Amino acid sequence: MPNPRLVDSIETAESLIGKDLGAADWLEITQERIDMFGEATNDKQWIHCDPVRAKTESPYGTTIAHGHLTMSLAPFMLQQIVDFRAKMLVNPGVERVRLRTPVKCGDRIRMHAMLKNLRRLPDGGVRATIGIKFEIEGQERPAAFGDVLLVYFL
């Protein structure tokens, strides 16, 4: 696991605006993970959860991860990239998310992050816009990308 970049003040966070924060470790997307996500969300389409059918009927020759499964890994992977020493964190949403390339069962993915913007809030928090991009090992085109909005109370 990489050593996350420590951000323990608003000033430190402000110095990182526009900078690449780094990348998380590679994570293999297993059928077990895909199935658990399908179970948790009641999204059990065969393209995700039926390896036998996907092998013969899918254009990918295997199952693929749910796009929202890929995106749901953002908080886990962001913790590997940056350590905001915050009293509390609130996630008000994501913007401009695009799912570009299917993540096949067995693919390894990782997330890159860049601090795009930071705004001080009147209640002492800071609102960060973090650009994220999920990479599939060995492929040029990203699996997904977008902007995550996070409010930190440092």
CATH number of domain containing 108 = 3.10.129.10
Assess whether pLDDT exceeds 80 at residue 24: yes
Which residues make beta-bridge pairs with 147?
95, 131
Q: Which amino acid is at 147?
A: D
The reported pLDDT for the residue numbered 1 is: 53
The reported pLDDT for the residue numbered 94 is: 93
Indicate whether 120 belongs to any domain: yes
Number of domains in the chain: 1
Indicate whether 60 belongs to any domain: no
Q: Which amino acid is at 37?
A: F
**CA-to-CA dists, residue 136 to 13, 55, 56, 133, 150, angstroms:** 28, 20, 23, 10, 25
Which of 85, 46, 48 lies closest to 69 in space, CA to CA?
Answer: 48
Distance CA 39, CA 30 (A): 14
The reported pLDDT for the residue numbered 124 is: 83
143 pLDDT band, cuts 50/70/90, is: very high
For range 96-114, the mean pLDDT: 97
Indicate whether 13 belongs to any domain: yes
Indicate whether 58 belongs to any domain: no
- Going by the DSSP 8-state scheme, the letter that residue 93 receives in this structure is E
